[in-house]
Chain A
Amino acid sequence: MSRDAIVLLGVNHKTTPLAVREKLALSAGYDEPLQALGQLDELREYYLLSTCNRVEVLFTCRDVEQAQQRVLDVMFGRAITASELEQYVYRHVNVDAVEHLFLVAASLDSMIVGEAQILGQLKEAYRHATKVGSSGFILNKLLHKSFSVAKRVRTETRIGAHAVSISYAAVELARKIFGELAGKKVLLVGAGEMAELAAEHLVRQGVAEVVVANRTLQRAVNLARCYNGRAVSLEELLDQLQQVDIIISSTGASGLILQKEDVRPVMRDRRNRPLFFIDIAVPRDLDPAINDLDNVFLYDIDDLHNVVEMNKSERDKEAVKAQRIIDEEKLKFGKWLANMESTPTIVQLRAMVEQQVRSEVEKTMGRFDTMDEQQRQGLEKMVAAITGKVVFPALHYLKTDRHCTGLPERIKAIRELYLLDTSSGEREE
């Protein structure tokens, strides 16, 4: 009897070009694909993660080869050809799968190492899996473990302590300027993807309001709705500057939309409350000389890139530390997994019962090694027989397949019942 195998199949930004990833991405949410996986008899437990950089399926099964094939067909088969599958999809089994999951959770496998979003996405994915009841005994344990590993990496290394992406760098700068971001107002000028990302980070930091200014008002209205903000037209830009604190500009305009001389009078009206301009448009939207004004700070996309680069080398050092933590946790989980096979449990249970019978016999009859050969053999036989009889119901329980309780649960029950995982197993009579 052996336990189920843990298998992880997936594609990520490292193995697969964006064009292919787009085809595989689960744009319609988790429910449908999870249901499709539920149709497969081969899978015991399964869980699904989809982000913009990766799609991964994690499952436990008996027959690895067969289950893999079925999952690939269901998940990816329709979108890409078999040869592409072969080329792009990575497969990890058992300990490798565990390690990969830990790496992902700890954000070491991310495009931007150390970013914190991935853990949230992982938890979200897990929530979906628990909702349909597709994760069971092993995956629950594994995923919870991966959360705590991620947390450990975060607290014990400084990998997450640095600005890790453009938008994070912007948020960190804003914090250094304004202190608390709660109550601050953000103005998005133009509505690009980067601007949205930065705005999202800022909203998560608790900014009070998001104002969107765009050339086409309809687009501004749509985007503003996402953040419960309001939309204004581009002509109102200067008026808005008096009220907002952070401006993220990303229009497609070919020239500058804001000059130093436009901003100077605004500062007087603002009574010099600081303004933070983030210019992520290429070509630039904002006059670089704006940065020369007192209490006004301007960062363009290159400046932000420099902030990110500066943190990179230090982060790589921390990644080594993080890898060590993951190796440690992988070993621990491996041990736990090994206990989930029935053989070690049976061996351990037998050894424990035999030890106790033997010690009771020795209490009454004297020590075995002082006896003569014939008597000792007789008693040994008796010990073995009693052990066998005592252990039998437990073994029977372990070995009989039941519908309602799977092997892992049965093993767990036995281990708990006989206190096999506590050092004081001898307490039991």
Chain B
Amino acid sequence: MFIDQISVFVENKQGALKDILKILADGKIDLRAISIADTSDFGILRMIVPNPDGALELFRSKGVTASKTQVTGCKLSDTPGSLYHVLNTLHDAGISVEYVYAFITRKDEDAYVILRVEDNDAAQKTLLAAGHSLIDPHDLYGI
């Protein structure tokens, strides 16, 4: 159960992020989740959207450097320590996490985390075996 995430290169200059978001707005693309990571020179905007292929196509047509990556989504209870348990499970299995971001939804009481790991298959098996539940992409896109 992979989730398609779109990553976009954002220059570190005034208005760059706004310009990217305008493309999404004009394309009537709804954002499910976003995360921005940046260095002093540039940033990467990561997002989950209902129609990842459409968004990728749209960005590329506008000359924006973008890519699609498969990530793992994990559902966890919105209580202290739950994210720790997820990461600890992965740690014990020797799976390292490149990055993580979390969001909550209106739909239920759970919190959602997006995990970027080297091997999605291994991570998902490990999480399921430890009793965690994964996010079905269809649920996510349809929130």
Q: Do A and B come from one complex?
A: no
